[in-house]
Chains A and B, each alone.
Chain A
Amino acid sequence: MSNIKDSQGDVWEVFVQSKPGLPHKHAGSVHATDKEMALQNARDMYTRRNEGTCLWVVPLNAIVSSMPEDSGSFFDPADDKAYRHPTHYIMPEGAKHI
C-alpha cells in the first residue's frame, strides 16, 4: 500500500466515531489535497446517513504499521505470559464475586 502519487491528491485514512463515548473506527480512505478538503470529502463519503458524531482524517504516510510477516516475532513477547489473564489464577472453592 505505497503512497502512490497521482493527480488526485494524497490518500487520507478516515476514522468515524459513530456515537459519543465510542472509539473512532476506520471507515476507508479519501483523496484530498489538504486537511479541509479531506474532512469534507470524508463527510460526503462516509457520513451521508448520520453515521457519525466525529471524524478523523489522517494522511496515509503518517501511519506506521507493523508488518504482517513479522507479526510472529513482533507479538511474541506476549505469548508466554498467561499470568496476565484472570483465568491463570486458581480461586478457592466457594469464593464468590471475584
Chain B
Amino acid sequence: MEDIKKLEEFQAKIDADVKIEPKDWMPEEYRKHLQRQISQHAHSEVIGMQPEGNWISRAPSLRAKVVLLAKIQDEAGHGQYLYSAAETLGKSRDEYIEELQTEKAKYSSIFNYPTLTWADMGAVGWLVDGAAIVNQVSLQRTSYGPYSRAMVRICKEESFHQRQGYEIMAHMAKGTPEQKAMAQDALNRFWWPSIMMFGPHDADSPNTGNAVKWRIKRETNDELRQKFIDKTVGQAEVIGLTIPDPDLKWNEAKGCYDYGKINWDEFWNVVKGNGPCNKQRLKHHIKAHKNGEWVRKAALAYAAKQKEKQLVA
C-alpha cells in the first residue's frame, strides 16, 4: 500500500512540471514504467548498431565509411546514456542486459528488418532516425530528470544522423536510373515500418494513460506519428521519391496529411519475434557479450590487484 498523501504530492509535482530525481519518492508503477521504457530505448540504440554495421566494410567511399562509423559510435554512446539513466532506477546494467537477452525486454521492431542495399543506410538515417528524433524531441520534456537529460544530449547528436541519411537518398535519387530505383526501393521497404515505430494507435495503446498522466510521455503515439509524416512528405518530394502510400493526401481542413491503413498484423508479428531478423539480432548480441566477458573479467581482476598493492604499500 502506498501512502496516498505521498502519491498526491508526487502528482502535484508532476502537474507543476517539477522533474522527478532518482532519490525522490515515486510510485512503484512509475518506477517500473520507466525501467521498462528507458531500458527498451537503450536496447534499441545498441541493437540498432547491427543493421548499420552490416555496411561498414562495404561503404562506397572513405567519406561514407567514416561517417557511418561515427554514426554507429554515436548509437553506442546513446545506449550508454540511456543505460546510465535506467540504472538510477535501482536496477543494474547486468540485469537490463539479461532481460534483453532472455527476451523479457523488447527493443524497437524496426531493427528486425534487414538492410539489403547501400540505399538502406540512407533510408535508415532519414526515416528511422527521423522518426526517433520526433519521439526524442518530445521526450526531452519527460518528467524523470535523468531520462530528460539523456534525451537532450541525444537530440543534439541525432540531427547529423538524419541529415547524413537524407544526403545518401538525395545523392542516389539524382544518380543513374538503377541508383534511383534502389533509393525508391529502400523507401518502399522502410516507410511503413518507420511509421509503425510510434507504436499502436492511441485507442489501442494500453500504456498511454498513466504515461501521459505522469508526463513520461508528453505526446501520444498518433500525435507524434502525424508530426513525422507531415515533416517527411515534403522531403521525399524534394528529392523526387514517392512515399508508398496511395492514400497519402493533404487534408486542408485538418492542416495535416491523411495516410493509409497501417498493417498492424505485421507490426505485432515482428514484436512477437517473427520479423526477418529477430533471431539474428539477439544471437549476435549474445555472442558479442560473451566474447567480451574475458575483457570485463580481466579489468575487474586488474582493479582488484591494484587495490591490494595500494593496501600493502
Contact = CB atoms under 8 A, between A and B. Distances in A.
B159 to A, nearest CB: 12
Interface string B68-112: 000001100100110011011011111100000000000000000
Nearest to A65: B23
Contact of A34 (B22, B73, B157, B303): B303
A4 B299 contact: no
B23 A68 contact: yes
B187 to A, nearest CB: 30
Contacts of B21: 68
A68 B24 contact: yes
Interface string B142-158: 00000001100100010
Contacts of A50: none
A28 B149 contact: yes
Contacts of A53: none
A1 B88 contact: yes
A28 B150 contact: yes
Chain B interface, DSSP helix/strand/loop, else mixed: helix
A37 B299 contact: yes
A6 B83 CA distance: 13
B232 to A, nearest CB: 26
Interface in A18-42: 27-31, 33-34, 37
Chain A interface, DSSP helix/strand/loop, else mixed: loop
Contacts of A2: 90
B87 A48 contact: no
A11 interface: yes
A49 interface: yes
Given A34-B306, A68-B21, A6 B94 contact: yes
Interface in B35-57: none
A34 B302 contact: yes
Contacts of A67: 23
B12 interface: no
Interface residues of A, number: 25
Given A4-B87, A28-B149, A28-B153, A48 B77 contact: yes
B272 interface: no
Interface centre among B90, B153, B299 (most CB of A within 10 A): B299
Nearest to B89: A1
Nearest to B21: A68
Interface centre among A8, A27, A49, A68 (most CB of B within 10 A): A8
Interface string B15-28: 00000011111000
B202 to A, nearest CB: 32
A11 B83 CA distance: 12
A45 B81 contact: yes
Interface of B: 21-25, 73-74, 77, 80-81, 84-85, 87-88, 90-95, 149-150, 153, 157, 293, 296-297, 299-300, 302-303, 306
